[in-house]
Amino acid sequence: MTESSATTVPPVLTLHNVRKTYRGREALKGISLELRPGELLGFFGPNGAGKTTMIRCISGLLKPDSGTITRHPFDHGDDDDPDNDEPIRLGLVPQNLAVYPDLTVQQNLEVFGRLEGVSGKALKHRINEVLEWAALKDRTRSLTKTLSGGMQRRLNIACSVLHDPDILLLDEPTVGVDPQSRERIYEMMQQLTADGAAVLLTTHQLEEVETRCDRIVVMDHGTIVADGTLSELVSRTIGQPHRVILKFDRPCSKPLAAFAFDEPRTTATCSLASMKELPQVLSVLKQLDQEPSRIDVRSYGLQDVFLELTGRSLRE
C-alpha cells in the first residue's frame, strides 16, 4: 500500500476512544485507530498489552465499556448506489489452532465455509481457491491432526478467508512455525491485501512487523504508544535512524565535527539520517590524534523504538 493511497482510501474500520475493563483490569484505555483496505497493520506489544482484548472487541466477541468501533459499509459493486453497500465481512484467526483436528482439511473448510454463509458451487469453488492459496491442495483428505504445524497454521488461516473477508484479524498467526511456513503465511497475507482486504495482525516477532507490515502500532498497558511506519516510529522516538559510535581507550582531547562526546570523552556518537552520509562522517577520523579502539555503525529498528517507548522492565 502506498503512502498516498493510505490517506485517500476511506477506512473500513475505525476505533474511537475504546475502553474495556476485562477481568478486573483496564485492558484498553482509549484506543483509537483506523484500518484501510489493502493495509497490513501490525500490532506489536508485550504480553498483557491488550492486543488480544482489542481483537476480541473489534470482532464483536467483547463489547467495549465505552468508545465506538465502526465497521464501515463496503462497496463491493461497481455502481455508486449506497444502498448496494454490503456489511463488512470479518474474518478471525484465533491464536490457537481453531480447527477441528478430527476432520480432514476439506471437511474443515466446508464446515467453516458454511458457517460463513458460503454454500453450494460457490463454496466448492472457493475451497479450491483457498487450498491453492494455502498450499494445501495435496492434503485435502488428510486429517488435520496429521498435518505439520505449519500446515495446520495455514489451514487455520484458510478457514477464515473462505467468505472473502474485507477485514481479517489474526492473533499471532505465526507462533511455532518454521521459517518456510512463516514466509508462506506472509505471502498469503500479502495476496489478501493485494486483493483489497485489510489485515490486522498481532505478533511478538519484531522482524515480521518491521519487514512485512505497512504500518505498525505499538501497544503497552492498554494504550497505543506509537503508530506509523517503521521509519516514522524511529524518527519520532529516537530521531535519526542510524548512528555511528566511536570508542577510545583514553579521553580524546580534540573536538570532532558532527560527533558528540560523553564524559570522560572516551565515546563519541553521531546520528545519520541516511547511510549515504556515512563516508563523509567517517572521513573526519583523520583529524583525530588517536585511533578509535572500536567503531559501531548501527541502524535503529523496532526493538529500539519499542524499548525506548516501553522501557526495559519485565511485563507479567
Partner 1 sequence: MILTILRILFLRLRNNPLELVLVFVMPVVFFSIFAGIFSKGIATGSDKKLRVGWIAAHENALSLELRAFLEKNSTLQCSSLIAKPSLADLDDEAEEKSIAEIEIEATIAEAQRSGRYDLIIRLPDDFPTRLADSEDSAPCAVQLVTDGQNPMAVAMVTSVVRGFFAQKKAASAAEQLVSLSLAAQSSSGYGSPREPNASQYFDPVKDPSQVFGNDQDSRFIVTNSDGVNSVNGVSDVPKEWAIAPPKSVFTTEELLETELADKPESENDEAVSISVENPQAATQENPRIAMYAAGIAVLFLLFSSTGNAAALLEEAESGTLDRILVSQAGLFHIVSGKWLGILLLGCLQITVMFVWAELFFKIQLAKHIVGFCIMTFSTAAATASFAMLLATLCKSRAQLNAVSVVIILSMSAVGGSMIPRFAMSDRMKEIGRWTFNAWALDGYQKIFWFQSPLTSLQNEVAVLLGSSLVLGVLTLLFSGRWKRG
Residue 260 contacts partner 1 per CB under 8 A: no
Place of cell 555503525: 297
Residue 44 contacts partner 1 per CB under 8 A: no
Cβ-based nearer residue to partner 1, 93 or 216: 93
User: Measured from the CB of residue 168, what is the shortest distance to partner 1 in angstroms?
Assistant: 11
Cβ-based nearer residue to partner 1, 78 or 316: 316
How far CA 89 is from CA of 117, 169, 197, in Å, comes to 11, 11, 10
Cβ-based nearer residue to partner 1, 95 or 106: 95
Answer for the pair 168, 130: CB distance below 8 angstroms, yes or no. Answer: no
Residue 198 contacts partner 1 per CB under 8 A: no
Residue 64 contacts partner 1 per CB under 8 A: no
Q: What is the rounded distance in angstroms from the CA atom of residue 25 to the CA atom of residue 4?
A: 39
Of 17, 25, 32, 60, which lies in the binding site for partner 1, with binding defined by CB under 8 A?
A: 60
Answer for the pair 168, 91: CB distance below 8 angstroms, yes or no. Answer: yes
Of 14, 22, 69, 204, which lies in the binding site for partner 1, with binding defined by CB under 8 A?
A: 22
Answer for the pair 286, 257: CB distance below 8 angstroms, yes or no. Answer: no
Phi, psi of 51 (to 5 degrees): -65, -50
Three cell numbers written together for 135: 498450499
Q: Report the site for partner 1 in 151-170 (rule: CB under 8 A).
A: 159-160
- In this structure, is the dihedral angle defined by the CA atoms of residues 281, 283, 289 and 293, taken in order, positive or negative? positive
Best CA proximity match to 302, nearest among 197, 229, 221: 229
Residue 88 contacts partner 1 per CB under 8 A: no
Query: For residue 137, what is the DSSP state?
Result: G
Residue 122 contacts partner 1 per CB under 8 A: no
Q: Which residues contact 186 (CB under 8 A, 6 or more apart)?
A: 174, 208, 212
Residue 74 contacts partner 1 per CB under 8 A: no
Cβ-based nearer residue to partner 1, 93 or 225: 93
User: Measured from the CB of residue 96, what is the shortest distance to partner 1 in angstroms?
Assistant: 4
Of 9, 98, 278, 309, which lies in the binding site for partner 1, with binding defined by CB under 8 A?
A: 98
Residue 94 contacts partner 1 per CB under 8 A: yes
261-288 in b/e burial notation, b at 16+ Cβ within 10 A?
beeeebbbebbbeeeebeeebeeeeeeb
Residue 146 contacts partner 1 per CB under 8 A: no
Residue 200 contacts partner 1 per CB under 8 A: no
Q: What is the rounded distance in angstroms from the CA atom of residue 91 to the CA atom of residue 200?
A: 10
Judged by CB under 8 A, the stretch of 93-101, 127-135, 179-187, 231-239 that binds partner 1 is 93-101
Binding interface with partner 1 (CB under 8 A)? 22, 56, 59-62, 90-100, 112, 115-117, 159-160
